[in-house]
Amino acid sequence: MISNCVSATTISTMLDSVCTFSAEGIVLTDSRHTIRFVNNAFQEIAGYAPQELVGTSINRFRSDSYEDSYYTEILRRVAEHGSWSGSLWSTRKCGEYFFFKVTILGIASDAEQYYCYLVNDTSRIREAEAKLQHSVQHDALTSLPNRMLLQDRIELAIVQAALKNRGLGLLIVDLDDFKTINDGMGHTVGDEVLKIAAARVSSAVRIGDSVARTGGDEFTVLLPDIRTPDDAGEIAQRIIELLSEPFTVDSSVIYLGATVGASIYPDDGTTSQDLLSNADLALIRAKTHCKGYHHFYTPDLNERVQHRIYLEETVRTALDEQMIQVYFQPVIDMETGRLSSSEALARLFHPERGEIPPGQFIPLAEENGLIYRLGEYVFRQACSQYAAWLELGVVDASVGINLSARQFIQPNLVDNLLGILQETGLSPDRVTIEITENSLMQDIDESVRTLRRFKDAGLQISIDDFGTGYSSLSYLKTLPVDQLKIDRSFIRDLMVRDNQAAIVTAIISMAHSMHMRVVAEGVETKQQFDFLKQSSCDYVQGYYFSKPLSVIHAQPHFEKETVFFYGT
């Protein structure tokens, strides 16, 4: 209670200060709703200066969202009850809509009726709540819906599909070999690739479809209201095509590609969990057998996934218990017919199942990261064996050892491998590093630096599976490469398709002009051998001469005087 000793003038001054500097917006109008006073807070809320408001009608803040009768009813309640409280929309001077809470007081005096509006701007709170809600339901990097929001949309789509008796599709899109980008080029580049990928996937779908980011390198697409599985297949293929195009980040050109797993409601499940699980099974199937394609769920996939889990555990156990053996396949000098080198190849023998094909366990190791251990194990075993053979005088040749794409981008790769050479005592000039052209093209500048370190240390460099990747002559000239290995797919059809023979001849001629040696892989017939000999190929490798051999079986074949065929 204010003391009676305080004069009316002082009280009026105090109240004027309170109103002026209150954090709550205050507007005073007369009975004709003409504004007589606005405080600082309301000026800030509305965006007007006081001279722009005083003397004008409060009705300027009425919104088209409400009928005039609504405002009439508000004033009736003020007249009847003395006040009214509620929330309304209005417009700031800048044209921006804002939402506010307001209490309107009716103040009667002897001379006139006044109205006092107490205004609290809640639009900022609503915006903050909306941003919070968005962040909870969306991926921070791409702004796409996350798994939680996708789950809600799938549930709703299933209900609508059941009511309309229509189908819906789910696609899980996985970026092939994306981890190699993060590992080799850093997360900043990886994030830019993900944002580009998100935009491409979003551009491939229809209006009404949903694209969500549901994993580090994984997107999920909800396709409501599809007529046939072919509808989903067409969109999946469009996504794959878009993601197979080069990604340009700063000055780097990056090649990825994508694989897609698909499930269809109601054939493959009637709940969101079933549809997601089965699309994931289809994705695993596609990645295991043929990346770069889409695959639909089939009931037998459950059994196949169990096999995959079993196989992964087998590989881990094989590495722990050194069950993996290194075989050697001879590479023959076309000039002398004698051993020039051999390629070290991993072979896995299970005590119960026997040999597990490399085409099964090596891609799996690539996917789950075991390739680092596997690659280092093979490198160490091959170097150790060759060092022993050289010391015994058994061989006078070199060994070719493959590096996977994921191995090649390891920051400490060169130091690790040189350390193994020192540990085993094998001279670097006895080792040829074999790397695919696609692996080199991921980051050409970094690839050149890595290869030069190998070269400076004395190792030889060979491009494996040449002809199947993205390399160009302009890039090839910049690489410190000693040798090209023509992919076996060209050799296989050599005597069947004329264009294959022309390609092989052109590769050999081009390599020689760049002072590179050429190895032809997969030579299995005399006709192929004769053609390659006539085409001046330097070295040949394949079952026509020898299959990959265990250490015990390789040693007799690798002796210095062994002749695999009589040269010219």
b or e along 495-508 (b: 16 or more beta carbons within 10 Å of the residue's beta carbon)? eeeeebbebbbebb
Tell me the mean pLDDT per 10 residues along the chain, length 568.
Answer: 51 66 89 92 92 94 90 92 92 89 88 90 74 78 91 93 92 90 83 94 94 93 92 94 91 88 93 93 82 86 74 85 91 91 92 82 83 93 95 89 88 93 96 88 82 95 81 71 92 82 91 94 94 95 93 84 64
SS (H, E, C) 108-138: ECCCCEEEEEEEEECHHHHHHHHHHHHHHHE
Q: How many helices (H) and strands (E) does the chain have?
A: 22, 21
Structural contact between residues 21 and 40, judged by C-beta atoms closer than 8 angstroms:
yes
- Which own/partner contact pairs does 449-456 have at CB distance under 8 Å and 24+ positions apart? 450/408, 450/413, 450/414, 451/479, 451/480, 451/481, 452/480, 453/414, 454/414, 454/417, 455/480
Structural contact between residues 438 and 405, judged by C-beta atoms closer than 8 angstroms:
yes
Question: Radius of gyration over alpha carbons of the chain, in Å?
Answer: 37
Q: Where in the chain is the domain with CATH 3.30.70.270?
A: 138-299
Report in angstroms the alpha-carbon separations of 380 from 41, 115, 133, 254, 445.
75, 89, 53, 31, 28
pTM of the model: 0.56
Report in angstroms the alpha-carbon separations of 460 from 300, 449, 483.
46, 14, 8
Q: Where in the chain is the domain with CATH 3.30.450.20?
A: 8-127
Nearest to 181 by CA among 251, 243, 250, 256: 256
**Which architecture characterizes domain 8-127 according to CATH?**
2-Layer Sandwich (3.30)
Structural contact between residues 221 and 279, judged by C-beta atoms closer than 8 angstroms:
no
Write down the pLDDT at residue 350. Answer: 79
Q: How many residues does the chain have?
A: 568
Q: How many whole angstroms separate alpha carbon 255 and alpha carbon 197?
A: 12
Residue labelled with tokens 């156990």:
317
| DSSP-derived secondary structure for 498-546 | HHHHHHHHHHHHHHHHTT-EEEE----SHHHHHHHHHTT-SEE-STTT-
Greatest distance between any 2 Cα atoms in the chain: 126
Q: Does an H or E element contain 366, and which?
A: helix 358-368
Write down the pLDDT at residue 2. Answer: 45
Residue-wise pLDDT for 290-324, tens only, equals 778 899 998 877 777 777 777 888 888 888 888 89
List the beta bridge partners of residue 38. 27
Provide the 10 A C-beta neighbour count for residue 154.
23
Secondary structure (3-state) at 396: coil
Q: How many whole angstroms separate alpha carbon 169 and alpha carbon 500?
A: 41
Q: How many whole angstroms separate alpha carbon 45 and alpha carbon 98?
A: 9
Write down the pLDDT at residue 1. Answer: 44
CATH superfamily of 138-299: Reverse transcriptase/Diguanylate cyclase domain (3.30.70.270)
Residue-wise pLDDT for 439-478, tens only, equals 887 777 888 899 999 999 999 999 998 877 655 566 777 8
Two tokens, residue 52: 């722009």
